[in-house]
Structures are given as C-alpha cells and as structure tokens.
C-alpha cells in the first residue's frame, strides 16, 4: 500500500469531508442550512488549496485560496443569506424525491463517479489524483440536488456547489487552473448571482413564491 505523508492524508481528509457535506446538502430542506453547508464547502476548499500551495510551492494557489475565502466563504453566503431574509424563503417545499430515496440515488451516483474517475486518475500525474473521484462525485451530487428541488434558491446553492466540485477537480488533477481562467470563472459566478438575484425578485413579484413549478403555468400570448 502506498505510504501517504501527513499533508496528503490531510488533503484526503478534506476531500472526504467535502463529499460528506455534499450528502448533507442533498438531505437538507432548510435553505439557511444549505447556505451554511455551502460556506463550509468553501472553507474546506480554501484549506485544501492552502495546504496544496504549501506542498507544491505553486504561488498562484495562494491567490486561489484567498479568492476562495473572499468569494465562497464570505461574499456569496452573505449575499444568499441577505436574499433569503429579503424574500422570506427559509424552507424548501417537498422535493421531487423523498429524502431516503434521494440518498440511495446519491450513493449510486458516488459509485458511478469513482468508476468514471478511475481511468482519469491513472492519467493524472499529481499526488492528489486519488481525490478526482470525490471531485466528480461532488459535481454529480450537486447536480442531483439541483434537479430534485423546487425552490430557485436551493437550485442556485446546488449550482454553486457544482462549481466547488469543478474547482476541486481541477486542483486535484492539475494543481489548479491558470489564474486568468480562475478570475474569469469568479467573475462569471458573480455576474450569475446578480442576474439570479434580479430573477428571484421577479419570480416572487409575479407568483408570490419561488417555487419554479409556477413557471410551467406561463403561456405564450396567442
């Protein structure tokens, strides 16, 4: 069995906690708790990035950790909590699948993710390639969170969690993306959140609810 140094053991522990948080988000119906779990995901990503920067000596990873802290741990959770208070949306309605069945599907998704990641991990040359399977699992679990929720706010949290999984996957496979790509993604996420914030208020004004099934009632003018 390959001997792992303490820093790699810590990175694997961070990856495992990231996966557990994804399962916690999958089973959570309270939107405030969803946002808190998303902030915890960001904190784990920040810690993992700092540890990887110290291990590899890659200076751009320190900037990535700072960007993660500012955007995913502080700003986006603050913005989401503010939207929740303004819109008065604290609980999701009954999800499309009940929680036990959703968790069972989540376990199957994780098994599929590890099978999918095995040939990719073999091609990767980084010391953290074993975490690629967890990164893919986090992405797929976030997608499952999105498609099983009715509230727009919960789906946005799922989208942001998916982006966390993509970031962790890039860090595991290649020690992070080029800085210009990370800045571009951060800007895209900020713009998306501003647009979605306006979208939330428009839905609330039109339907007095953020349940997206109301959008199915819209008809084109004849």
Q: How do residues 111-141 score in pLDDT, each as one tens digit? A: 998 888 887 777 665 656 678 888 889 999 9
* Backbone conformation region of residue 208, classed left if phi is above 0, alpha if psi is from -120 to 50, else beta: left
Query: Mean pLDDT lowest for which of 25-34, 45-54, 89-98, 131-140?
Result: 89-98
| Residue 40 pLDDT > 90 | yes
59 versus 94: which is more confidently predicted? Answer: 59
Q: Tell me whether residue 98 is in a domain.
A: no
- The domain in which residue 151 lies consists of 6-89+103-213
Task: Assign 30 to helix, strand or coil.
Answer: strand
Q: Tell me whether residue 25 is in a domain.
A: yes
Question: What is the average pLDDT score of the chain?
Answer: 77
Query: How many percent of the chain have pLDDT more than 70?
Result: 70
* 150 C-beta neighbours (distance < 10 Å), count: 17
User: What are the tokens at 68?
Assistant: 């993660």
For the entire predicted model, the pTM comes to 0.79
Backbone φ and ψ of 150, nearest 5°: -100, -35
| Rounded-to-integer distance, Cα 39 and Cα 172, Å | 20
Q: Tell me whether residue 197 is in a domain.
A: yes
| Residue 41 pLDDT > 70 | yes
| Rounded-to-integer distance, Cα 51 and Cα 10, Å | 8
Domain count across the chain: 1
Q: Tell me whether residue 220 is in a domain.
A: no
Residues 4-30 have pLDDT tens digits of: 677 778 888 888 899 999 999 888 888
Burial class (CB in 10 A: 0-12, 13-18, 19+), 60: middle
């Amino acid at each position: 069995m390959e001997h792992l140094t303490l820093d790699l053991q810590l990175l694997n522990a961070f990856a495992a906690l990231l996966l557990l948080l994804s399962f916690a988000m999958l089973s959570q119906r309270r939107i405030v708790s969803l946002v808190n779990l998303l902030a915890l995901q960001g904190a784990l990503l920040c810690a993992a990035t700092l540890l990887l920067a110290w291990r590899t000596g890659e200076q751009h990873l320190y900037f990535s950790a700072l960007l993660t802290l500012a955007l995913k741990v502080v700003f986006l959770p603050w913005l989401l909590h503010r939207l929740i208070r303004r819109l008065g949306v604290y609980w999701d309605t009954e999800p499309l699948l009940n929680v036990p069945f959703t968790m069972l599907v989540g376990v199957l998704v994780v098994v599929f993710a590890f099978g999918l990641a095995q040939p990719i991990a073999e091609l990767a040359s980084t010391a953290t390639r074993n975490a690629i399977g967890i990164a893919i699992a986090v992405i797929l679990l976030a997608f499952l969170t999105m498609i099983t929720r009715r509230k727009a706010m919960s789906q946005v949290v799922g989208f942001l969690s998916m982006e966390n999984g993509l970031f962790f996957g890039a860090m595991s496979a290649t020690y992070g993306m080029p800085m210009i790509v990370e800045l571009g993604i951060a800007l895209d996420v900020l713009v998306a959140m501003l647009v979605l914030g306006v979208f939330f208020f428009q839905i609330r004004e039109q339907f007095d609810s953020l349940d997206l099934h109301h959008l199915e009632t819209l008809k084109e003018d004849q």
